Chains A and B, each alone.
Chain A
Amino acid sequence: MFAAPTNTPRTTPITPNTPWLGRSVERPEDAALLTGSQRFMDDLGAPPGTLHAAFVRSPHPHARIVKIDTAQALQCPGVHAVITGAAIAAFSRPFVVGVKAPMEHRSVAVDHVRYQGEPVAIVLGDTPYTAEDGMALVDVTYEPLTAIVDPQDAMDDGAVLLHHEVGSNVVADRHFRYGDPESAFASAAHTISIDICYPRNSVTPIECYGLVAEFHSGSESYEVTSNFQGPFALHPVMALALKIPANRLRLKSPPASGGSFGTKQGVFPYIVACCVASRIAGRPVKWIEDRLEHLMAATSATNRVTMLRAAVEADGRITALDWDQIDDCGAYLRAPEPATIYRMHGNMTGAYDIRHLAIRNRNVLTNKTPSGLVRGFGGPQVYFALERLIQKMALQLGREPLEIIRKNLIAADDFPYRTASGGLYDSGNYQAALQLAEDDDRIERLQQRQREVRAVGGLYGIGMAAIVEPSISNMGYITTVLTAEERAAAGPKGGAVATASVSIDALGSISAHISSVPQGQGHETVIAQVVADGLGLTPDTITVNTELDTGRDAWSVASGNYSSRFAGAVAGAAKMATDRLRSRLADIAAAHFDCDNTDITFADGTIGATGSAIKSMPFRRLGATSHWAQSTLPQGMEPVIRETVFWSPDVLAPPNATDEINSSAAHGFVFDVCGVEIDRDTGRVRVDQYVTVHDAGTLLHPAMADGQVRGGFSNALGATLYEHFSYGADGSFQSGTFADYTVPTAAEVPDIEILHVQTPSPITPLGAKGIGEGNCMSTPVCIANAVADALGREDIELPLTPSRMFELLDNQEPPKPVASGNGLERPTLRRADYTVTGHGETHVPVAPETIWPQFFDVQAIQSIVPGCQSIEEVDPYHFKGQVNLGVGIVKGLFDADVRMEDVVEPKSLCLIGTANGPLGSSNGEAVVVLIPDETGTRIRYSYGINLSGKAAAIGGRMIGGATKILINEFFRRLAARVAPEHTEPSTLLIKVPDSIQKLWRSICALVQGGRS
């Protein structure tokens, strides 16, 4: 049943004096977005002469680059240049890293690739199409190396090293100790622990990365428009990589950005690569990322292995926590990493009053995409462990989770509260939030529902999570990874400067500018409300510009849209700029009206003096005075035209000598409770009820706050049930499309109940805190707790896909029907570790001796192998050739190399082969057995294939199907050749690549299940 009003109802009626802030006014952003006239990155056009870039990327997760042959690509019509990593390196240096390790990370790899999809060259073409033509023709020879996928394997002595210079795959390892955790554990009644593996995922925006970069040779400077979102602390990282002063790198943002959720931070290496490409080519360069590139190589949240222990008293009070966290940052520690693990450093005791704390943080590199900002940044990993532990604790102590939570929550009168690791929780009333969730029998009704479902044998679980949601990151928290001595040597880092400007134009109308770079969060709406309230105007008269141009606008390293900093920091700065403008206008008005400036009022578009109805003037008239009539300003007053405020919360000090750090300025609270029902047969987890209570301080725009909660919840639901960046054991990436990386749609995301408590922050100018990331932190563990409750199991690992649920349900697959007939087994493969395997049988009405020679006849093979373009015999048991194959959106020519082993004429043989091409690389084997019977020969075969590159990325499921079709076609053709009159015509309709495309479509249709 649809039940949610999208506006949180106001309890007080709106009067003319009701402030705009706090009302759910319509968004000025929307008209342009709804009519298609708003311009996103790829809608901006580019300077005449712009070339389009396509990145040649490694199909291997780990390899040495032996040779890059660009000759053929350069012959391709429309291709202007092919720029290799070495050429880029001539005009750039490796990115700086946040730890003391000699790790070399470049925008385009030189000699060594460390994750699948890592750029190795850039092709510049007249159009995106020709650039991609060229990309397919760049011939890169790789020497594959062993890939490391599991972060714990990466730490092993003797593990293959990603970076030899670093000497270890562990790039940072720090121990922290606050209070006296050892004594707390020694004296505790119980020690309760949990081990967690948090998976890789992201919140993938619908708009991918995009940029236009141009080198200005006259000024030796770069100008870039991109959908980079900040933090602008990465501006100096880019400038340093480009070997230029920061004032020679001008970054601009487009008017609109199609979502980011943190991820667009990761466009920065591409900015550097395309800047240099523009310099080399002497032309502007445009690049628009595609979805495969985004999923495979853009960014990811870290996957994390956590061992968490708690010292617990007999009554359920937690006295100490001991964290051991291993954060997998992928192939490079890309800035701002190791931020994921340190963002939460001040909050490692969550919402609980726990005074003793031990933490070990290790940052590990593996052959995966480098990690970076993703909504919730660092929170989901921490709270998944902490709140799963709370649930386990309740179970172990025979108490209700709610009781354990209550017993340990920070008391309402303890705020501001300093955590053991140095976080300063500004305000809160966690008990009130819990109470709100319990009101109206919400939890009681869930329990009732659980009893009902269980009574009829169903599976129903209840889960909870209580979390602290940090916002407005301290620019210095990342330096907690360094020792106090290293920090002292590097100089202290802290603070978080927000900027806002409010200006009056010559007709007295007001414009505001903020350096927040939004991607749909309605910043224009809220800033217009803030400014309108301050100046007695209506929001529709205020123009707000959120584009950022580092060459022109006020900004600082903390600028950008991340760490939920808008409501607390940026809107607050806008209020301060408005107040400053107002106070100076009041001085002008006081002089004009000859009264005290404290008597000046701003209301209904006028500026007046209290007590006198006559003394008032339209705002626009008095406001424009500084432009037109400086002589009328009070003596000595500077013109009042633009006010810019730089605000940084003073509570954001650098980490101190004992490693205490207040990692964020504001701390909200979320308490979630949910009920889930699990289908025993299908393994489907259905969220039956979900209640989320938020305390984000003062709400500036209730409907948009709820929009942030709903959005965060749906992202988190994806992470909990569906989304996963999957890697094969060999490091091959397997989630390259939205059919493989499955994002929830309207059919999967239930409606939720949102409740608010508001304890204003004493730190931020408007009392507001972040609200957009909370559910990404609370929801995964809340649902996981409910599933654990439903199943009575502890080993809950995300995502809870039907197949994982199937395992958790201990469901046995129905036994396969036993093969009848002669009892012969299917041929056994030599190796067991193939990602795609299959087997089959076909019957040919001729004797084995007739079939046998076909396997060794070049012409026969050419006609039998689907898509075979050419073939040559190296020796009687060794062939090389080219095969044209495709799956859906990716297709191309493979260089195939096949050897025959274990040849027992005319009974059996084993084909061992490799294939390399733009689709990626594969290796595999096929074992073929010929069994004579009364009417001819039974051909039985088994095959196994490993894949990397695009072929792997677009999904094993699909490859499995496509492979099966191709192999069946191979044997059908074989049969047709030796016994044409007895063979069915091909079921492949057109030529092979098209049929696979058809298969792709039907799989897409299947995956979308009844979608339009």
Chain B
Amino acid sequence: MPILSAGQRHKITVTLNGEERTGHAEPRMLLSDFLRHELGATGTHVGCEHGVCGACTIKLDGQPTRSCLTLAVQVDGSQLETVEGLGASDGSLGVLQDCFRRHFALQCGFCTAGILMSLDTYLRDQPNAGEDDLRALLSGHICRCTGYTPIIAAALEAAEILRARELQPEQRGPDV
């Protein structure tokens, strides 16, 4: 771990949604601020900055991570994925996003990016997740608008669609 000087801005290079991006950050800068204000990726939102609400969840080297509890200087050289990278390559919505739309699983949409990132990882790792698993997973997120039921419904349907795709690899569309 290099020694960083507190007052200085350090160069940070990351792979953000498959693209190499470079910015600068003081050691104290939160990853959430770095993403939003330094790299302009404002799809990740901040709701508490103390690790409880889950709005800022991103993927750091494939694992869901609170970007508000991570310092930008910690992620130099890492792979980051955010909501901006969730769609299909043709710009249309991914499976999970589309299910969210069909089930009215978002209202204000402020919590949504973090929830999508957690679910995206979880459905990858636990393709057979049931309602109880999903409720337990989502206990790391706060949504004040929806009452959660439509989010669970959307996630269950997405899981089903993704499982069906797994069975027919030749029909596999773009990633979730």
Contact = CB atoms under 8 A, between A and B. Distances in A.
Contacts of B147: 707, 710-714, 749, 752
Interface stretch (A242-250, A739-747, A780-788, A792-800): A739-747
A290 B49 contact: yes
Contacts of B69: 1001
B29 interface: yes
Contacts of A261: 144
Contacts of B29: 129
Interface in B85-129: 86-87, 93, 97, 100-113, 116, 118, 122
B146 A710 contact: yes
Contact of A36 (B7, B43, B104, B131): B43
Contacts of B136: 747, 1010-1011
B135 A746 contact: yes
Contacts of A6: 103-105, 149-150, 153
B28 A707 contact: no
A6 B82 CA distance: 27
B145 A711 contact: yes
Contacts of A1009: 139
Contacts of B82: 36
B164 interface: no
Interface in A413-432: none
A38 B152 CA distance: 23
A636 to B, nearest CB: 47
Interface stretch (A201-209, A591-599, A849-857, A878-886): A201-209
Contacts of A1008: 52, 139-140
Interface string A744-759: 0111110110000000
B55 interface: yes
B143 interface: yes
Contact of A707 (B46, B48, B150): B150
B103 A206 contact: no
A520 B107 CA distance: 4
Interface string B44-59: 1111111111110100
B84 A37 contact: yes
A1004 B50 contact: yes
A1012 interface: yes
A205 B150 contact: no
A739 B36 contact: no
Given A6-B103, A745-B138, A751 B149 contact: yes
B113 A36 contact: yes
Pick from A27, A128, A291, A1007 the residue with the most CB of B within 10 Å.
A291
A422 B122 CA distance: 55
Nearest to A208: B47
Contacts of B111: 206, 258
Contact of B144 (A35, A257, A711, A1011): A711
Contacts of A889: 49-50
A738 B101 contact: no
Contacts of A637: none
Contact of B151 (A38, A520, A746): A746
A417 B69 CA distance: 56
Nearest to B156: A2
A520 B109 contact: yes
A389 interface: no
B97 to A, nearest CB: 4
A824 interface: no
Interface string A364-407: 00000000000000000000000000000000000000000000
B144 A27 contact: no
B100 to A, nearest CB: 6
Nearest to B30: A129
A37 B105 CA distance: 17
A704 B7 CA distance: 49
Contact of B140 (A2, A207, A291, A1011): A1011
Interface string A33-52: 11111111011000000000
A851 to B, nearest CB: 39
A712 B144 CA distance: 9
Interface residues of A, number: 70
Interface string A187-205: 0000000000000000111
A43 B46 CA distance: 11
A888 interface: yes
Nearest to A1005: B51
A1012 B58 CA distance: 12
A1011 B134 CA distance: 11
Interface in A445-467: none
Contact of A35 (B7, B43, B122, B145): B43
A444 interface: no
B106 A34 contact: yes
A203 B100 CA distance: 23
B170 to A, nearest CB: 27
B148 A256 contact: no
Interface string B141-171: 1111111111111001000000000000000
Contacts of A1: 131
Contacts of A128: 33
Residue of A31, A35, A259, A712 with most partner-chain B CB within 10 A: A35
B58 to A, nearest CB: 11
Contact of A203 (B28, B138, B144, B153): B144
Given A4-B153, A743-B144, A1012-B64, A520 B36 contact: no
Contacts of A37: 43, 84
Interface string B18-50: 000000001011000100100001111111111
A30 interface: yes
B73 interface: no
Contacts of A707: 104, 107, 145-147, 150
A588 interface: no
A1008 B52 CA distance: 7
A714 B108 CA distance: 15
B86 to A, nearest CB: 7
B83 interface: yes
B93 to A, nearest CB: 6
B110 A749 contact: no
Contact of B139 (A40, A522, A751, A1011): A1011
A672 B135 CA distance: 25
A263 B155 CA distance: 30
Nearest to B97: A34
A715 interface: yes
Nearest to B64: A1012
A521 interface: yes
Contacts of B52: 737-739, 1004, 1007-1008
Nearest to A717: B147
A950 B87 CA distance: 41
Nearest to B85: A36
B126 to A, nearest CB: 12
Contacts of A738: 48, 50, 52-53, 142
A519 interface: yes
Given A36-B83, A747-B135, A258 B104 contact: no
Nearest to B121: A1012
Contact of B45 (A35, A206, A522, A711): A206
Given A258-B45, A519-B108, A1008-B139, 9 more contacts: A34-B106, A129-B28, A291-B50, A711-B107, A745-B148, A751-B149, A1004-B52, A1008-B140, A1012-B137
25 contacts: A4-B149, A33-B109, A35-B93, A36-B86, A40-B45, A128-B33, A203-B144, A207-B110, A258-B110, A259-B107, A261-B144, A291-B49, A520-B110, A522-B107, A704-B104, A713-B147, A737-B48, A739-B52, A746-B148, A746-B152, A751-B149, A1001-B69, A1004-B52, A1012-B137, A1012-B141
In order of increasing CB-CB distance, the 10 nearest A-B pairs are A36-B43, A520-B108, A258-B110, A33-B109, A710-B147, A1011-B140, A520-B107, A746-B138, A738-B52, A747-B139
Interface of B: 7, 26, 28-29, 33, 36, 41-55, 57, 64, 69, 82-84, 86-87, 93, 97, 100-113, 116, 118, 122, 131, 134-153, 156
